[in-house]
Amino acid sequence: MNHHPENSPEIAEIYKELEAELAGIDPGCNACGTCCHFDEFNHVLYASTIETEYIQENVEVPPFDPAQGTCPFLIDNKCTIREHRALGCRVFFCNPAYKETLQEIYEKYYTMIKDLAVKNQTEWIYAPMMKLLKKEYK
């Protein structure tokens, strides 16, 4: 696995800025964990290699089958890697009233993360996060 620890402080800074922006709009979330059951929600969580490397540098990834319908970091319906979770996890809220606003925020931070990858000459692959964690995207 390629490691680019130089990205870590910068991605942490990007996430911090994002969290401050999200706190200002507060789309509401009761932390029920349903959206981390991808099959139930019928959605796929996408992420970039820079985000999954940040996760892998900071937490242990439990054994899992990428075809399974639930995120392996979800335990007792709680995210166990909140501090290191991906952009898609942070920006997803099931409240439909915020769909467009959240889409704009997602694109803004996606671009910031991509710019970081370019600046630090880090490989950029954007794919389903479960596949990225298993390196099954090629």
Residues that bind ligand SF4 (CB under 6 A): 29-36, 45, 71, 73-74, 79, 81, 85, 89, 93-94
Q: What tokens were used for 130?
A: 């479960």
CB 45 within 8 A of CB 38: yes
C-alpha–C-alpha distance, residues 79 and 34, integer Å: 11
Find the shortest distance in angstroms from Cβ 42 to ligand SF4.
12
Distances (CA, A) of 88 to 1, 6, 18, 116, 121: 22, 22, 11, 17, 22
Q: CB-wise, 30 or 42, nearer to ligand SF4?
A: 30
Burial of 7 (0-12, 13-18, 19+ CB in 10 A): buried
Find the shortest distance in angstroms from Cβ 63 to ligand SF4.
15
Find the shortest distance in angstroms from Cβ 55 to ligand SF4.
8
Q: CB-wise, 28 or 119, nearer to ligand SF4?
A: 28
Q: CB-wise, 94 or 127, nearer to ligand SF4?
A: 94
Q: CB-wise, 74 or 125, nearer to ligand SF4?
A: 74
